[in-house]
Amino acid sequence: MNKRAIQVQLGIGACVVCVFLILYAIPYWISAPSNMRNIVLSPRFWPYAIAGLTGLVGVGMLFANRKANADDAPVNDPIQDPRAGLIRLAGMAVLMAVTFWLLPRIGMVWATMLAFASLAFLVKTRHPKTALICALAVPLLLYVFFAHVAGVAIPQGEFVRLP
Amino acid sequence: MSVIDSIMAGLALVGNVEAIVSLAIGIVIGVIGGAIPGISATMAVALTLPFTFPMQPINGILLLLGVYKGGIFGGSIPAILIKTPGTPASSATVLDGHPMAARGEAGRALGMALWASCTADLISNLALILFAGWLASFALSFGPPEFFALILFSLTIIAGVSGESLLRGALAALLGLLLATIGLDLVYGTNRFTFGDPNLMGGLNFIAVLIGLFAIPEVINMVWNPTGHIGKVQALGGKWVTFAEYKRCFRSIVRGSFIGVFLGAIPGIGAAPAAFLSYSEARRKSPNKANFGKGEIEGVAASEAGNNGVAGATLIPLLALGVPGDVITAIIIGAFMVHGLQPGPMMFVMNVDIIYGLFIGLIFSSGLLLIVGGLAIRGFKPVADIPKRILMPIVLVLCIYGVFAVNNNIFDVGVMFVMGWVGFVMSRYHIPAAPFLIAFILGPLLEDNFRKSMLMSGGSPDVLLRGPITWFFWALTLIAVLAIARGTLDKARDKG
C-alpha cells in the first residue's frame, strides 16, 4: 500500500463513518430526553459535533491527496511471505478469542499458560524449552503477585483451583 | 500549611525505604524497558501501571515516574550500541553516539549520555518544583469556562504528536473523542452507545484502552513479522568519559536542559523535538561543529540533555492543571486516578503532602538514575539478547493480568484485545496512537466543562469568553492553530 492508497482509504472511511454516525448510530444508539430545549445540552450534541468533524477530516484527506504528488513507494516494511503472515494474524485473532472465552471457564492461570505457549508456537520460537518454562512460570508468578500480594480475585475457573 | 510544613509532610511520606526502593525499581524497569527496542518507555510505563495497585499512592506514582525517567535514558543505550533508538526521544543520540560506538568508544558515549541525562533531569525537576505550585495557585480561580478553554488549547497537543500527517493525527483524536462518549451521559444519565450492556455504562476502561493501544499492537506486529531482528551490539570499549569532557560539554548540557524544560512544559511537544533542537543549538555554538554527526561527544551530551530536560517539565501541566504534557504523563494520569487522586490545582490544596513527596522523590531520582544507569550500561548485552519471540508472549500475559486487575472484570480484557487490533490497523495505516489516547483522556473533561458552562449560562455561548483567563487560552489556541496551519502549508509547499 502506498501513501496515496492509505490517504484515499482513510478519507473514504472517515466520510462513511460520519454518514453512518449522523444517520443511524447517533439517532438510534443514543437516547436523549424528549423535552430538550437547548440542543447544546443534549447528549447527542457532542457526538454529532465529533461526527461532523470526522467528515470534514475525511474530505480534507481526499482533497489533500488530490493535490499530493504521486508516490508509489510502499509505506510498510515488506515481509517475506504475506500469505503466511495473514494466516498467523488469523491465528492470533482466534487465540485472543479463545483466551477470552477460556478465562472464566478454566481460570486465568491456565488460560494464560495456553495463550503463552500458543503464541510462542505461532511465531515459531527458536527456544521452545525456554518458552515452555516461561509459559508455566510467568502466569504462576503473576498469579502469586496479584492474588496474594495485590489481593486481586484472579478467576480460578471451574476445574483446577490454585491456593 | 506553610512551605516548611508541606516539605515535612512530603518527607514523612517518602522518607522511608519503601518509597526509595519503589523509585529505584521503577528506574531499573524503565532503563531495561527503554533499552529493549520494541518495548519503549511508553509501553514500560503502561505495563508497570497495574503493579502499582496494591501500593501506597505515593510509592506507586514514584515507581511510574522512575520508569518514565529510566525509560528516557534507557532509550539511549540501544541508540548508541545498535543504532536503534529505544524510544523516539533518543533518535538524536544516534547521530553521534553510534559513530562513537563504531570506533570503539561506546563506553565513553554512554557515560556522557548518563551524566548529561542526570544533570538535565535534576534541572528539569527543579523547574517543576519552582513552577508547578505557582501555576496551580493561578489555576485555582478557574471555573468550567476557563477549564474548557484550557483543555481546548491542550488538544492542540495533537499536532505535536501527530507525526507525519496532521490529518491522520486529527482522525485518531476524533476516534478517541468518539470512544470517550461511550457510557452514561454526564448530565442526563441516558445511554450513549451502551447497547444495554452494563459493562459499557461506565465507559471504556482507560487502562484497557491504553494497554490495548500501546502494548498489544507490538505483539500483533511480531505475529505479522516474527523475524524482524535487532542490529549487532557494539562492544563498550576501554575508554570512559572523563570529568574534563563533562566540563567541556557543560554549557551544551545546561542549554539543552533548559530547551527541554521549556518545550516539556508546553503540552504536546515532547522529548524528540527537544533533543533535536538542543543538538542543533549545540552544533551551532560549538567550536567542534565540523565533528558533529561523526562521533562528537558534545552531540551526545546535548541530545540527551534535551530529551531528559523534558521528563520533569512535562509534569508541570500534569500536576498544576491536570493536563498531560505528553503520552507518558497521560498514562501516569491513570495511576493518579486509580489511587483516587485527581491531578490539578485542587491537588495542591487537598493532597499537598503527596505533591511535596513527589518533588522530594524526583530529586532523589536524578541520583538513583546515575547509579542504576551506570550499572545498566555494563549489563545491557543480556537485555538486548532476550529473544523477542519469548518477550512478546510475556508482554501478552502481563497485559491480561494487568488489565483484569484494574476492575476485576474480564470484559476489560476483551476491550484490550479489541483495542489491540484497532491499534494494529492504525499502525498499518500510519495513524498515530498518541492523539487517540490524549483525546480519549481530554474528551470527557472537555465535554463536561462545556456542558457545565452552558448550564451556568442557560445555553449562552458568551460564558466561554467571560474573562481574561478564557481570552488568554482562546488566544493561545488561535496562535497554536495558526502555527500548525502554517507549518502544514510550509511542509506541503516543500514537498510540492
* A-chain residues near B174 (CB < 8 A): 50, 53-54, 57
Instruction: Check CB contact of B202 with chain A, cutoff 8 Å.
Output: no
pLDDT of residue B381: 61
> How many alpha carbons lie under 13 Å from residue B202 in its C-beta half-sphere?
7
Helix residue ranges, H only, B225-351? 243-265, 271-285, 297-313, 315-321, 327-338, 347-350
* Cβ–Cβ < 8 Å for B334, B210: yes
Domain count, chain B: 1
Report CA torsion sign: B211, B217, B223, B226: negative
Which residues lie across from A30 on neighbouring strands? B192
Dihedral-angle region of residue B418 (phi above 0 means left; psi in -120 to 50 means alpha; beta otherwise): alpha
CB pairs under 8 A between A and B: 186
* B-chain residues near A157 (CB < 8 A): none
Helix residue ranges, H only, B340-463? 347-350, 352-378, 380-384, 388-407, 410-428, 433-457
A68·B495 Cβ contact <8 A:
yes
Question: What confidence category does residue B480 fall into, taking pLDDT thresholds of 50, 70 and 90?
Answer: confident
Q: Inform me whether the pLDDT recorded for A65 exceeds 80.
A: no
Question: What confidence category does residue B138 fall into, taking pLDDT thresholds of 50, 70 and 90?
Answer: confident
| The amino acid at B60 | G
Helix residue ranges, H only, B75-105? 76-81, 91-102
B412's grid cell: 476489560
Max Cα–Cα distance, chain B, nearest Å: 72
pLDDT of residue B24: 92
pLDDT of residue B185: 87
* B-chain residues near A9 (CB < 8 A): 429
Question: What confidence category does residue B318 fall into, taking pLDDT thresholds of 50, 70 and 90?
Answer: confident
Which H, E and C letters describe A31-67, residue by residue? CCCCCCCCHHHCCCHHHHHHHHHHHHHHHHHHHHHHH
In the three-class reduction of DSSP (H, G, I as helix; E, B as strand; rest coil), residue A2 is classed as strand
Distance CA B35, CA A120 (A): 22
What distances in angstroms separate CA A21 from CA A28, B89, B435, one per listed residue?
A: 9, 38, 21
Instruction: Check CB contact of A128 with chain B, cutoff 8 Å.
Output: no
Which of A10, A53, A145 is closest, CB to CB, to B168? A10
CB atoms within 10 A of CB B367: 12
What distances in angstroms separate CA A18 from CA A41, A49, B246, one per listed residue?
A: 21, 10, 56
Question: What is the mean pLDDT of the segment spanning B408-425?
Answer: 94
Q: Which residue range is the domain that position B171 belongs to? A: 3-495
Question: What confidence category does residue B285 fall into, taking pLDDT thresholds of 50, 70 and 90?
Answer: confident
| The amino acid at B294 | K
CB atoms within 10 A of CB B201: 14
Nearest Cα neighbor of A138 from A115, A104, A105 is A115
What distances in angstroms separate CA A35 from CA A42, B132, B405, B451, B457, one per listed residue?
A: 10, 45, 41, 17, 19
